A and B are shown apart, each in its own frame.
Chain A
Amino acid sequence: MPIRGAKEGARSDSSELIVNPSPPACLNLPIISLSDVIKQFGRLAALRGITAEFLSGRLYVIVGDNGAGKTTLLRILAGLSQPTRGRVSILDSTDPRAVREQVGYMAHPSLLYDELSALENLRYFAQLYRINDEQRCRSVIFSLKLDPDLTRPVGEYSQGMRQRLSLARAVLHDPKILLLDEPFSNVDVGSARHMVELLAAMRNRGTTILLITHQASLLESASNEFVWMDFGKIIRRSRELELLQAL
């Protein structure tokens, strides 16, 4: 399967980061389905029977208190964790291995090598997705307002820079589904807004985004739906953040 965007040239505009020029063919079709998903860690139930569908080409913002099960849900969707019970279907496949190429994942930790530079990190991760295009790595770094020629190791970056590079790693292979866990933590407001613009542009081109954040107000204009989780369950879904908070 050809990698979307693997052969594209340098770009300076974040809205051009996603290089698939064709409009999404199957917008508003369920791309992720969860049926009675339960996840237990010993006696602790992190997810308590989640049944939900997420449509393609939409940006979902998952909110909730600490311990609500948000990260567990994202790790299951990324294939890093297996549900104790229930069924997870992504892109019509129940085998997470089959869809790895189509899923991008950004965790709370950076998932980057501190001793390598930004370009060295992305060059390595690109090869894991069989992308041998250095220009693609450079353009993704550049689109997140980082300097691809900076030789400084990532360990010496500020937390905000590391978060942006972590997002660059997650979108490097132009995935159809993007799972982001706290992408704006320790990011300054200007950079966070730029990241939101970039994510909105990706969504407009057909990428489905599930994003966990405690700064939901940043995404009020960009998100399609807010999903509220509590005690391992999805308790509310709303298009308006205020409505969600008011309930």
Chain B
Amino acid sequence: MSSLPTITKATLAKDLRLEWRSKDVINAMLFFALLVVVIFSFSFNPTAEESRQIAGGLVWVAFLFASVVALNQTWARELRNQVLDAFRVSPAPANALFLAKAIGNFLFVSALEALMTPLFIVFYALRALGPGWQLVPVGLLGTWALVVNGTFFAAMSIRTRSREIMLPLLLFPITIPALLAMVQATSAILTGEASAKFWIVLLAVYNLVFTTVSLLLFESVLHAE
């Protein structure tokens, strides 16, 4: 549909403007991720070699938890004044809303990662022994894997009574294959002991499948009572 890119762009611009004014998402995510880094650094006192082994897990678990904060917030603002109904009664394609929300969340979580990664490097004295450039595709694909499912399941849980609890219950089990790939790929690159290519391909396939399924099902989710 020709209006899909236009409305996606308009909705994304609106969401970025709302976030710029309220700072609801980025503040909550940043504070949460910062706490995780500090608590982990107090809990463990690893050597440089141990850090390389565990950092992949620590980093992605911190980002997963922080992204849940963003995912809840991004739909919560559509519930205030029931403004989501204004979209539902319009002829705008449902997928425009989904794509705008997913891209917005991707930008928010990427911004968080850009801010938090240097802190992780400092706190855990990290240095990649493998091909460091591969962290870029792992980061991009991993972040998309978190937000595409998260945006979809947050939309599903938006009208449930306990959506803050419902979202992790729905999201975490389905994210396990992607999380495994992100952690394994990151650890492989940091330690330089194995190739991360298999895990990167797995992430790409995971994203392709779940993005397609989300786009196919989102209209039903949006218009469900």
Contact = CB atoms under 8 A, between A and B. Distances in A.
A130 B81 CA distance: 23
Interface string B77-97: 100111101111111100000
B21 interface: yes
Interface stretch (B10-18, B52-60, B118-126, B139-147): B10-18
Interface residues of A, number: 28
A42 to B, nearest CB: 12
A107 B85 contact: yes
Contacts of B215: none
Contacts, number: 70
Contacts of B82: 107, 109, 111
B77 A113 contact: yes
A128 interface: yes
A48 B11 CA distance: 38
A101 B92 CA distance: 9
Given A112-B83, A124-B11, A129-B90, 18 more contacts: A80-B85, A80-B88, A100-B91, A110-B83, A111-B82, A111-B83, A111-B85, A113-B18, A113-B77, A114-B81, A115-B22, A120-B14, A120-B17, A125-B90, A127-B7, A128-B87, A128-B90, A129-B91
Given A115-B22, A116-B17, A124-B10, A79 B89 contact: yes
For the complex of A and B, 10 pairs with smallest distance between CB atoms:
A128-B90, A111-B86, A128-B92, A127-B10, A100-B91, A109-B82, A101-B91, A110-B81, A105-B89, A109-B81
Nearest to B14: A124
Interface residues of B, number: 24
Interface of A: 78-82, 97, 100-101, 103, 105, 107, 109-116, 120, 124-125, 127-130, 153, 169
A47 to B, nearest CB: 14
Interface of B: 3, 6-7, 10-11, 14, 17-18, 21-22, 77, 80-83, 85-92, 225
Contacts of A81: 225
Task: With a 10 A CB-CB cut-off, give which of A78, A79, A97, A114 has the most chain B CB atoms.
Answer: A114
A115 B89 CA distance: 21
B87 A116 contact: no
18 contacts: A78-B89, A80-B85, A80-B89, A82-B225, A105-B85, A111-B81, A111-B86, A112-B83, A113-B18, A113-B81, A115-B17, A115-B21, A116-B14, A116-B17, A120-B14, A124-B10, A128-B10, A169-B86
